[in-house]
Amino acid sequence: MLNECETLMLDMDGTVLDLAYDNYVWKELVPEHYAEAKGISVDLARSRLYAKYRAIQGDIQWYCLDHWSERLGLDVLELHRGVNHRIDYLPGAKRFLQALHEHDVRVLLVTNSHPDTLALKDEVTGLADYFDAIYTSHQFGYAKERQEFWHALQEEEGFGKGSTLFVDDNRTVLKSADAYGLEMLVEISQPDTSEPVRETSDYTGVMGVADLLDT
């Protein structure tokens, strides 16, 4: 599959980098600090936060650190920075990125990540060095779950729908890319190394991007 594409689009969190970091921040760290700020239990804080998360999941605001900092009264970026030692590549992902120079393919990072989080993760991992271009949904104003994102990215890149391989761990995003017409779609089945392997969906599933070197 990798040898058949002209453009390779990779998601960041859960595809190149271990989603365990993000899950720890949003499911453990933020609730702990929110509970302390509000004088409530962590369980109650988590319950309230999860309701707030679900209300805008898939929207651009869900991925916006500024939105959450303002809404929760916390410096969310600083919380991320305080545990940046947890940021790491998924198994085999760095080797995969290093091997891509042997393939005649344009490599794009296509992420919903907020630019500040992206900058922090690049600071820790140096991942930007492996990509020909980087696009965040924030520069377009629409999350990857929305068709408007793909239209905007097409305006920038002019990629071929039949010659582009897109890899992501988010099934809603993959469905959005599918609806837009991308023909080669791959789902990561273990985006978080602290959680079990997920059952595959309608899309081609791989444990990690390194598996694509064998396709």
Q: Is the pLDDT of residue 215 over 80?
A: no
Q: Say how many Å lie between the first and final Cα of the chain, rounded.
A: 5
- β-sheet with 184-188: strand ranges across: 133-136, 106-111, 7-10, 164-168, 184-188, 204-206
12/60 same-domain check = no
List the CATH number of the domain containing 153.
3.40.50.1000
pLDDT digits (tens, 9 = 90+) for 3-28: 889 999 999 999 999 999 999 999 99
- Residue 57 pLDDT: 85
Name which of 16, 5, 18 is nearest 110 in CA terms: 16
Are both 52 and 27 inside the same structural domain? yes
Same domain as 127, residue 166: yes
- Whole-model pTM? 0.95
Average pLDDT over residues 156-174: 96
43 and 147 co-located in one domain: no
Q: d(Cα 37, Cα 19) in Å, to the nearest integer? A: 26
200/99 same-domain check: yes
Query: How many helices (H) and strands (E) in the chain?
Result: 9, 6
Report residue 100 CA to chain centroid gap.
Answer: 20
**pLDDT at res. 213:** 87
Q: Are residues 56 and 97 in the same domain?
A: no
- Which pLDDT score is estimated for 24? 97
Count the domains in the chain.
2
Domain that holds residue 158: 2-18+89-214
Domain identity same for 69 and 133:
no
Q: Are residues 12 and 55 in the same domain?
A: no
Mean pLDDT for the stretch of residues 36-44: 95
